[in-house]
Amino acid sequence: MIIGIIGGGQLGMMMAEAAKKYQHTIIGLDPNSLCPLSYVADDIIVSEYSDVSAISKLIETCDVVTYEFENVDLELIKKYENKIPQRSDALHFSKNRLIEKEFAKNLNIKTPRFFRYVNQKVLIPSIIKTTTGGYDGKGQFKIMSQSDIDQFKLNKNTEYIVEEYIDFDYEISVVATRDQYGKKVYYPVPRNTHKNGVLFLSEALNDIDGLIVSKAINSTSLILDKLKYIGTLAVEYFVKDNDVIFNEFAPRPHNSGHYTIEGCTVSQFENHILAITGEKIKDSTLVNPSIMINVLGKDKDYIKRINSSNIFYHDYLKYEARSNRKMGHITIVSETKSDTISKRNSIIEGQL
Ligand code: ADP
Ligand code: MG
């Protein structure tokens, strides 16, 4: 099949790597001719995401199209929905944090308290976030006291959401794939740690309380079915006092599921490709305890020198190593949990 990928970042790159296993042809669309996907795709259409005619051309040329991020034109996705298995509902609800949280609430999924920011009304403590366009912690302001409000130069023309600050015990995500036959596969639930709003660690060690896992999977199942979603999707949750609180969902493979490439019998990318090409998805289990570490900014130079077994490095081949930019990731998959954790510690301390 000819698969089109809107967005040429690392997610597109890893989708394409999985698609190659099935001899699919890949055409990507990205403003940058040297984007990560360009090293794997058969062709790249170099175009801005706002260029409706270029995206239309991509969709018309391909048998099926997938998007790797939420910043895609909703109307265009609606128009070509028959060729885009992820469908437009998933985008509609995930593009705007207010609409997204209302959506979860309507499914009876617990969320932090939230409301649209008007007349300087806030909760304390809370986080104010732009309703659209934010990622990796961008566009977020932590409000710990009333005076914090004056400190932040909130833009009058931007819509914000005020979210109750959750002093969570830890964060998890459920990465799942649903196919057109209604089958759903859930990958082992990782525990996620963020640094400056950017994901740093995803640890799939099979050590999360069973009740927490089943609550999170139940909510994720409701979301997948409501959206009639086909492909891989992830839902982020806060865990507090044995309860699971919805944070956000992403209608695409997710950074916290990268460990599935080496850590599971089938990866989130392979099942995404199977689902969107109309095939049946495969069950996926944890092969070994796995930890994924994101390689941010200039850490790349150190990571490249690591030479140790059971450690897999994925270089996204980006040119510019801006601070906090995701340059690659490594996955540690050791036979024992203790060895996986000890390798993680050595890497974080820069001693491998
Ligand atoms: P992004 O789209 O940038 O991933 P998120 O809403 O997931 O935005 O926020 C990034 C991170 O910031 C979260 O994973 C969490 O660590 C922290 N965070 C976000 N919202 C809250 C909240 N309401 N309470 C506590 N921490 C939060
Ligand atoms: Mg997030």
Looking at ligand 1, which residue's alpha carbon is closest to its atom 1? Answer: 135
Indicate whether residue 125 lines ligand 1 (CB < 6 A). Answer: no
Q: Output the average pLDDT for the chain.
A: 95
Return the best residue to mutate from 247, 252, 256, 324 for the ligand 1 pocket (most ligand atoms within 8 A of CB).
Answer: 247
Report the pLDDT value the prediction gives residue 237, as an integer from 0 to 100: 98
151 three-class SS: helix
Ligand 1 atom closest to Cα of 112?
23
pTM over 0.95: yes
- DSSP codes of every residue in 182-242: S-EEEPPPPEEEEETTEEEEEEE-S-S-HHHHHHHHHHHHHHHHHTT--EEEEEEEEEETT
53 three-class SS: helix
Looking at ligand 1, which residue's alpha carbon is closest to its atom 16? Answer: 194
Q: Report residue 295 as tokens.
A: 């390689």
Residues of the chain with pLDDT under 50: none
Output the CA–CA distances (angstroms, integers) from residue 69 to 30, 43, 212, 253, in the order listed.
12, 19, 28, 9
Indicate whether residue 163 lines ligand 1 (CB < 6 A). Answer: yes
Q: Rounded to an integer, what distance in angstroms lies between the CA atom of residue 296 and that of residue 294?
A: 6
264-319: pLDDT as tens digits: 999 999 999 999 999 999 999 999 999 999 999 877 777 777 777 899 999 999 98
CA of 73 to the centre of ligand 2 (A): 21
Contact 176, 224 (CB under 8 A): yes
Strand partners, 93: none
Ligand 1 atom closest to Cα of 199?
14
Report the pLDDT value the prediction gives residue 298, as an integer from 0 to 100: 74
Ligand 1 atom closest to Cα of 129?
6
CA of 100 to the centre of ligand 1 (A): 14
